[in-house]
Structure 1
Amino acid sequence: MGERTLKLAIVDERALDRECLGQSLIAHGLEMDITLFSSIDMWRSALATNFCGILINVGARDFLHAQLNEELTLLIANYPDLPVIILSDNQNIEQIFAALQIGVRGYIPSTVGIDVCVQAIALALAGGMFISMESLNDIQKLLFKVSQVESKRSQMFTAREQTVIEALRRGKANKIIAFELGLSESTVKVHIRNIMKKLHASNRTEAIYKINAEFE
């Protein structure tokens, strides 16, 4: 028997875009058959198990939008062994994190060249994960900022005060905070007074505002 030909599915609701993308990938060295689909449902109605991966061009659609997120989450859950790769105009870090969290194997920004796109697809299909260098740099900056914020908070507040702060930010009343933390309500009030004093805030509303402004 001959060697099995690899098949990649490309999903894009825009006919011209998906045809140009498919032809460009082949022209730049992607050595596999490509089949084009206008939607995930159209791909699913075909013999979906015959594909080694699926590239979905979401364009400018927001990955954080419930409908798109649910659609891709369901796809990955139903086909756990199928590498899902996203091509997107959106390079928002939160969007990239959301995609990776549900199991996307590659997040390709539309700003990269076609050669990088070919390499990204090959990496994802080989079991790796692709994120652009620009996105990695943004993630590193974000993680550094988060670590600085956490360090500053830990220096300013005790561990218990930080727990109370998170409860305050969620709008919880003193009684609820006391119940959840196993403390007396009077102890919670002491923690809140200490937090307000450290922030030079006159009330809890001002304290929450200053926390959000200082540590976000």
Structure 2
Amino acid sequence: MTAQPGSDFEAAPGAAAPLPLEGALRLLLVDDHPLFREALASAIALAFPKAALHEADGIRAACEILGQNPAIDLTLLDLSMQGVTGFEGLTTIRARFPRVPILIVSGVTEPRVMQEALRHGAAGFVPKAVDKATLTRAISEVLGGALFMPPDLAAAPPAARGSDKAPIAERVARLTPQQMRVLGMIRQGKLNKQIAYELQVGDSTVKAHVSEILRKLEVISRTQIVIETAYLDFDQTAGF
């Protein structure tokens, strides 16, 4: 499939080259507009030539595909679809398939909506009007276990992104015991593979934990985790 000139995913000057991946990448595109799915699929195929793409025109179809294909690596989801209100689609997929990260690809660009999407379990958010380079970066970062927000919003001062954050100690208290262990290792500068080895779990499990830690702490990077928890009495908070 080929994106039409002038489409949302038309190549931008300086667009990133396709990124090599280990093994086949499996993606699910969920959007009720066939032309947009076609443009999105075309953009992904250029960036990730070996990717296997599944498509769904609604949440029910998406859940059926995810149930039949447990090895899917990432779901790209539109928030605004017929029969879906607010974050219903996102929360439905998250509840049934919690280990599959979800990247929101939406025409909505309000910072408040983006932040709420992350709070409801999304692993990232990109507007539909982004260029291929940004889309590629978003997919790569989410697959790497990070959260992704548009650069202009991510670079904004904390006050511009909302001042309703709970104190860091309260946010850390939301973590499960295993997530607390992973958080401690992140603070020590350990990589995902090192964490997986020490916990004797798979890399994908560690990535899922890291994504949940980022979401629950309401930050977008490992660096922010270290900064925000730097002055926290971690041993006391963790109950060690």
TM-score, length of structure 2 as denominator length: 0.52
Relative to structure 1, is the Cα distance of residues 33 and 143 closer, same or farther in structure 2, using a 3 angstrom cutoff?
A: closer
Other structure's SS at 1:103 match: coil
User: How far apart are the structure 1 equivalents of 2:153 and 2:146?
Assistant: 16
Matched, 1:127 2:145: yes
Judging changes above 3 Å, is the alpha-carbon distance between structure 1 residues 144 and 82 closer, same or farther for their aligned structure 2 residues?
closer
**Residues of 2 paired with 1:76 and 1:131: CA distance?**
19
Alignment partners' CA distance in 1, 2:141 and 2:35: 26
Q: Is the 8 A contact 2:102 2:123 kept in 1?
A: yes
Q: Say what the alpha-carbon RMSD is for the aligned residues.
A: 2.7
The separation in 2 between residues aligned to 1:108 and 1:38, in whole angstroms, is 19
Q: C-alpha distance in 2, partners of 1:75/1:146?
A: 26
**Partner of residue 109, structure 1:** 127
3-state SS in 2 of match to 1:130: coil
Q: Which residue of 1 aligns with 2:170?
A: none
Pick from 107, 111, 117: which aligns with 1:89? 107
Q: 1:6·1:32 contact (CA, 8 Å) conserved in 2? A: yes
Give deviations 1:9-61, integer Å, cap 9, x for gaps. Answer: 00110111101110121113464211121112112222141311100133599
Distance in 1 between residues matched to 2:114 and 2:127, nearest whole Å: 10
Counterparts of residues 119-158 of structure 1 (less than 5 Å): 119-138=137-156, 140-142=158-160
User: Separation in 2 of the partners of 1:60 and 1:114?
Assistant: 23
| One-letter amino acid of the structure 2 residue matched with residue 11 of structure 1 | V
The verdict on how the C-alpha distance between 1:143 and 1:31 changes in structure 2, with shifts beyond 3 A counting, is same
- Partner of residue 50 from structure 1, selected from 62, 66, 71: 71
Give the partner amino acid of 2:146: G
The residue that corresponds to 1:197 in the other structure is none
Partner letter of residue 126 of structure 2? I
Which is higher, the Rg of structure 1 or of structure 2? 1
- How high is the sequence identity, in percent, across the aligned residues? 21
Q: What is the identity, as a one-letter code, of the residue corresponding to 2:41?
A: G
Matched residues in 2 for 1:57 and 1:129: separation?
Answer: 17
1:73 pairs with 2:111: no
Deviation at 1:110, TM superposition (A): 2.2
**More RCO (CA 8 Å, sep 6+):** 2
Q: Show structure 1 runs of 5+ residues with no match.
A: 148-216
Equivalent in the alignment of 2:213: none
> Partner letter of residue 76 of structure 1?
R
Higher helix share: 1
Residues 187-210 of structure 1 deviation map (CA, whole Å, 9 limit, x = unaligned):
xxxxxxxxxxxxxxxxxxxxxxxx
